[in-house]
Chains A and B, each alone.
Chain A
Amino acid sequence: MGRYLAQRLVYGVLTFLLIASFTFFLMDLLPGSPFQNQEKLSPEQLEILRDKYNLNDPLPQRYAAYMVNLVQGDLGVSFKYDSRPVTDLIMERIGPSAQLGVQALVLGVLLGLVLGVVAALRHNTAVDYGAMFISVLGISVPSFVFASLLQYYIGVKWGVLPVAFWESPAHTILPTISLSLGVTASIARFVRTEMLEVTGQDYVTLAKAKGLDGQSITWKHMVRNALIPAITILGPMTAALITGTFVIEKIFAVPGLGELFVSSITQNDYTVIMGTTLFFSAVFILMILIVDILYGVVDPRIRLGGSK
């Protein structure tokens, strides 16, 4: 387990450094300059600006400086937001995104679990078909379409909940629901498949042969074993959530990281793009690491080592 963890950790750090370098060189290839949009800058003024942000240094030198700063947690300053440090910008925006992400994850996982388990227990009945239809719908309806419709009907037309902005808990309801749809659907499908897989296992038959009642068999023998593999999709789930925040935050005008990322792209704000990219990557890598650890903790076959 210790060796396994160390290996995972090394991979995580390696991946992160790779992404950092990759992002840096990609940014260098980007067409357009961050100052292009500024009206009528004279070549001299532009030169001053470029100098100020060290854009005239040779590439290797800039790369070295960038990596050194990165290790120190310094992501540079924004070209657009009055030279504010990117780290500050991210810190400022992280709150709403984190809240939105966690709320959506919790809601999605719980709902998905219930749907998946119930569907599998009632395999090939109307309940199963209903749950699976909901989950196919959840996977097939893009979050931005779902969010737009929720916003239009519940927010605008019926006026039940706030249309946009991030002010009170009520404001978080629609974005959370929109973001959790995909999570619910994926978890439900995955859990159902795993549950059905487990249903045919010999140890479930043995549990029945012991004379256990349906409840004990379901919870102690089936759900537990079905959920272990389900942990693995929490990694990809995080990626999907990050993707989701880009559009959901745009639609509901949530002052979060996703919104910052999307707007910095349209404004060619290189350092912010780089900074947020790295931040998202770090979150993703960390989540995968957590999933690996969690998997080890829950599955005795990994925790205690040994074959199979």
Chain B
Amino acid sequence: METILSVRDLTVAFHTYAGTVQAVRGVSFDLKKGETLAIVGESGSGKSVTSKAIMRLIPNPPGEITKGEIMFEGRDLVKLSDKEMQKVRGRDIAMIFQDPMTSLNPTMTIFKQIAEGLKRHQGLTGDAAKKRTLELLTLVGIPNPEARLKQYPHQLSGGMRQRIVIAIALACNPKVLIADEPTTALDVTIQAQILELLKDIQQKTGTAIIFITHDLGVVANMADRVAVMYAGKLIEKGTVDEIFYEPRHPYTWGLLGSMPRPSDDRSQDLPAIPGTPPNLLHPPVGDAFAPRNQYAMKIDFEKEPPFFPITDTHEAATWLLHPQAPYVEPPVAIRDLALKYRPDSTFAKALLKGGLK
């Protein structure tokens, strides 16, 4: 399938009182037309910064894209002027934010907030803008859209507000939609509705989605492909099946292991990844995950692992994939998952034989 957005070696730094924080350290990935790519990581891993960097919304100062390129339709977004970038934002690439309670302007009516983008990019005003706004409100499932036009954000519930934010993002039929933890601030029942809505919209409009989340559970239902991020770097990329049933990076194992499953034995504690992510003021040498990695080898503390390809669609940055690495046995949870759902995969077979290489 055709690649629509291609990020190469993206590096973002924040200059702070304490020093320079390397929030994103050389991230590369491709986004294909109409697919959903999930970027998963814990808070502070740089996933949100990555998404804001694509939109060039990193506040400068203190933030700055120091390296890399973001290719979109043959143009490098990093090099665009502010004026050119304004034309991309909202029209070609749109964004949904985390907290619907704060992302709408409290003193502007719903209609004006949606119509702003329509006027800016499509020159729609008056009745045309109103018609399109009503269409959008219906699309995002807002009941009684006519009555909402004149309302202010504080008159709507959190879930409704997030639908408005989505409507704003969809206003100009963007080719890429970046959803930055769009359900994190919402109640669980509302979360499911919003996710359903996003899937539905993607089917109707065919827009590609970059879905940023810390919640692997959400990913399973939403994404085609998953990229796992840790300490400002991507560490494993693959299709959603590959990440869930044939994961290769110990951090991915940790993430999957700490995800509760209905079938779990309740008497056992849910495993957690010990320790905390590294301070990106002073990024560690070698593999950033090494201090928290029970499979760590000497080389992890000395050299940064490159990406080792596993299949055409799957690769992981861990020295465990190096030919010289010893056999290791992944945690029981990973083994169970693979054996239960993908018993025929080479991964599962290798596990049965006693170890991974």
Q: Do A and B contact each other directly (Cβ–Cβ < 8 Å)?
A: yes
A203 touches B102 (CB 8 A): yes
Whether a CB of chain A sits under 8 angstroms from the CB of B103 is yes
Closest A residue to B118 by CB, please name it.
Answer: A210
Interface bits A266-305 vs B (CB < 8 Å: 1, else 0): 0000000000000000000000000000000011110010
A308 to B107, CA, bound (A): 12
A205 touches B97 (CB 8 A): yes
A301 touches B106 (CB 8 A): yes
A212 to B104, CA, bound (A): 15
Chain B positions within 8 Å of A208 at CB level: 55, 57, 89
B86 touches A209 (CB 8 A): no
A210 to B169, CA, bound (A): 7
B155 touches A304 (CB 8 A): yes
In chain A between 123 and 139, which residues have their CB closer than 8 angstroms to a CB of chain B?
Answer: 124
Chain B positions within 8 Å of A300 at CB level: 106-107, 152, 154
Interface bits B125-163 vs A (CB < 8 Å: 1, else 0): 000000000000000000000000000101100000000
A307 to B156, CA, bound (A): 10
Known interface pairs A206-B97, A210-B89. Does A301 touch B116 (Cβ–Cβ under 8 Å)?
no
A299 to B88, CA, bound (A): 32
A205 to B58, CA, bound (A): 9
B91 touches A299 (CB 8 A): no
A304 touches B61 (CB 8 A): no
Whether a CB of chain A sits under 8 angstroms from the CB of B299 is no
Say how far B160's CB is from chain A's closest CB, in angstroms: 13
Whether a CB of chain B sits under 8 angstroms from the CB of A62 is no
Closest A residue to B121 by CB, please name it.
Answer: A211
Interface on chain A toward B: helix, strand, loop, or mixed SS? Answer: helix
A206 to B83, CA, bound (A): 17
Closest A residue to B85 by CB, please name it.
Answer: A211
Closest B residue to A204 by CB, please name it.
Answer: B105
Chain B positions within 8 Å of A298 at CB level: 107
Contact of A228 among B59, B107, B165 (CB under 8 A): B107
A306 touches B154 (CB 8 A): yes
Interface bits B91-107 vs A (CB < 8 Å: 1, else 0): 10011010101111111
Contact of A213 among B86, B107, B155, B165 (CB under 8 A): B86
A206 touches B168 (CB 8 A): yes
Chain A positions within 8 Å of B152 at CB level: 300-301, 304
A209 touches B57 (CB 8 A): yes
Whether a CB of chain B sits under 8 angstroms from the CB of A201 is yes
A269 to B104, CA, bound (A): 58
Whether a CB of chain A sits under 8 angstroms from the CB of B250 is no
B102 touches A210 (CB 8 A): no
Contact of A210 among B59, B101, B106, B117 (CB under 8 A): B117
A307 to B155, CA, bound (A): 8
Say how far A225's CB is from chain B's closest CB, in angstroms: 6
A205 to B90, CA, bound (A): 12
In chain A between 167 and 219, which residues have their CB closer than 8 angstroms to a CB of chain B?
Answer: 200-203, 205-214, 216
Chain B positions within 8 Å of A207 at CB level: 105, 116
Say how far A210's CB is from chain B's closest CB, in angstroms: 4
Say how far B171's CB is from chain A's closest CB, in angstroms: 8
Whether a CB of chain B sits under 8 angstroms from the CB of A224 is yes
A interface, how many residues as a size bin?
Answer: 20 to 34
A299 to B59, CA, bound (A): 28
| Chain B residues within 8 Å of chain A by Cβ, number | 35
A212 to B119, CA, bound (A): 10
Chain B positions within 8 Å of A221 at CB level: 105, 108
Say how far A235's CB is from chain B's closest CB, in angstroms: 21
A216 touches B94 (CB 8 A): no
Interface bits A8-24 vs B (CB < 8 Å: 1, else 0): 00000000000000000
Chain A positions within 8 Å of B106 at CB level: 203, 225, 299-301, 308
Say how far B175's CB is from chain A's closest CB, in angstroms: 13
Q: Identify the interface centre among A206, A228, A299, A301: most chain B CB within 10 Å of its CB.
A: A206
Say how far A268's CB is from chain B's closest CB, in angstroms: 52
A225 touches B103 (CB 8 A): no
Chain B positions within 8 Å of A224 at CB level: 107
Chain A positions within 8 Å of B97 at CB level: 202, 205-206, 209
A71 to B259, CA, bound (A): 74
Q: Identify the interface centre among A124, A202, A216: most chain B CB within 10 Å of its CB.
A: A202
Closest B residue to A221 by CB, please name it.
Answer: B105
Chain B positions within 8 Å of A84 at CB level: none
Chain A positions within 8 Å of B79 at CB level: none
A211 touches B105 (CB 8 A): no
Whether a CB of chain B sits under 8 angstroms from the CB of A122 is no
Say how far B320's CB is from chain A's closest CB, in angstroms: 39
Known interface pairs A306-B154, A308-B154. Does A210 touch B120 (Cβ–Cβ under 8 Å)?
yes
Whether a CB of chain A sits under 8 angstroms from the CB of B87 is yes
B91 touches A206 (CB 8 A): no
Say how far A240's CB is from chain B's closest CB, in angstroms: 27
Say how far A214's CB is from chain B's closest CB, in angstroms: 8
Known interface pairs A206-B168, A301-B152, A306-B155. Does A212 touch B86 (Cβ–Cβ under 8 Å)?
yes
Known interface pairs A211-B89, A301-B152. Does A206 touch B108 (Cβ–Cβ under 8 Å)?
no
A308 to B158, CA, bound (A): 13
Closest B residue to A303 by CB, please name it.
Answer: B152
A210 touches B90 (CB 8 A): yes
Chain B positions within 8 Å of A299 at CB level: 106-107
A2 to B7, CA, bound (A): 55
A202 to B106, CA, bound (A): 11
A210 touches B168 (CB 8 A): yes
A224 to B112, CA, bound (A): 14
The 17 listed contacts between A and B (C-beta, < 8 Å) are A200-B59, A203-B105, A205-B57, A205-B97, A205-B103, A209-B95, A209-B97, A212-B117, A213-B86, A216-B116, A220-B108, A221-B105, A224-B107, A299-B106, A300-B152, A301-B152, A308-B154
Among all A-B residue pairs, the 6 with the closest Cβ atoms: A211-B90, A211-B89, A202-B103, A202-B102, A210-B90, A210-B117
Binding site for A on B (CB under 8 A): 55, 57, 59, 61, 82-83, 86-91, 94-95, 97, 99, 101-108, 116-117, 120-121, 152, 154-155, 165, 168-169, 171
